[in-house]
Amino acid sequence: MADRTQAFDQLTDDYRRYRPDYPAVLLERLDGHVRAGERGSWPAPWLMLDVGAGTGISTRALRRVFGPAPRIVGVEPGRAMRRTAEAGAPEGVEFVEGRAEEVPFPDSSAVLVLAAQAVHWFDRPAFYAEAARLLAPGGTVAVLNNDRDWTAGAFVDAYEGLLEEYGDDHRRDYRAYDTAGEMNAADGLADAVESSASWTRVLDPEGFVGTALSSSKVAAVVRNIGERRTRDALAALVAEHFPEGEVRIPYTSRLFLARREG
């Protein structure tokens, strides 16, 4: 695809219906980190930016966690994703067009810059530099990912193998980079820390297939072998590993936090 920012436009409906939320324990840690950095000089109301917001799953989570007081804005370049997010937005949540490397807000205007399930799409050094520009001193940059744990069982191992065999150079460890180190290397950011939470998502077969089809990695498989063959392969995995029909997918979710110096 020539414009990677529109990569999910054909996947928007499945993304909205099937993508999971994030563990409450990690959202609570995010809340605590932001509040611990509070300065009297912070702009009011607080501005919180969810960069690469997609259909707004993480943007809505910010509203639940932080309540009605902050201004919460999802920044999303994908046209269809942004329209879907706007249609489901709670009161007080906004969405604007923008890229992670060039966010349309002033210097030192935000107290939180979040990238949830999105940072692997970014020019990461440019994003961290942009986060440092956007954040007021004491503000938080956060990266949050839900990662399937292929080490925890045969099913996810086989699923990742399917993507590696038929996808476009897919590697199951494509998010295995030093996020904390990259944060600390950015001018103006410091004290990066990581938290994680393991959990299991339980789906029926339809939910599993829908979740799979919301992925750009599976979209590559569909392009390469066709939708019917892809659906048959996914159904065969479910039948082999979960003959009773309850699909259990182990996840490890990871939250990385760093502070704006100054």
List pLDDT tens digits, range 126-167.
Answer: 999 999 999 999 999 999 999 999 999 899 999 999 999 999
Band (175; pLDDT cuts 50, 70, 90): confident
SS3 248: strand
pTM listed for this prediction: 0.92
pLDDT in tens, 66-103: 999 999 999 999 999 899 999 988 888 999 999 999 99
User: Average model confidence (pLDDT) for the chain?
Assistant: 93
Residue 1 pLDDT grade (very low, low, confident, very high; cuts 50, 70, 90): very low
Residue 9: pLDDT band by 50, 70, 90 thresholds? low
Average pLDDT for 166-184:
92
Domains of the chain listed by start with CATH number: 4-148+175-199+251-260 (3.40.50.150)
Q: What is the pLDDT of residue 11?
A: 62
pLDDT confidence of residue 10: 59
Q: How far apart are the C-alpha atoms of 163 and 39, rounded to whole Å? A: 46
What is the pLDDT averaged over residues 203-209? 94
pLDDT attached to residue 8 = 52
pLDDT band at 251 (very low <50, low <70, confident <90, very high): very high
Phi, psi of 13 (to 5 degrees): -65, -45
pLDDT of residue 36: 98
Q: Is the pLDDT of residue 176 over 90?
A: no
Structure tokens at 36: 């611990």
> In percent, how much of the chain has pLDDT > 70?
95
The yes-or-no verdict on residue 15 having pLDDT over 80 is no
Interval 225-233 mean pLDDT = 96
Sign of CA dihedral 104, 63, 83, 256: positive
DSSP alpha helix (H) spans, 115-242: 124-134, 154-166, 179-185, 205-213, 216-225, 227-241
Q: Is pLDDT of 121 > 60?
A: yes
Q: What is the pLDDT of residue 2?
A: 45
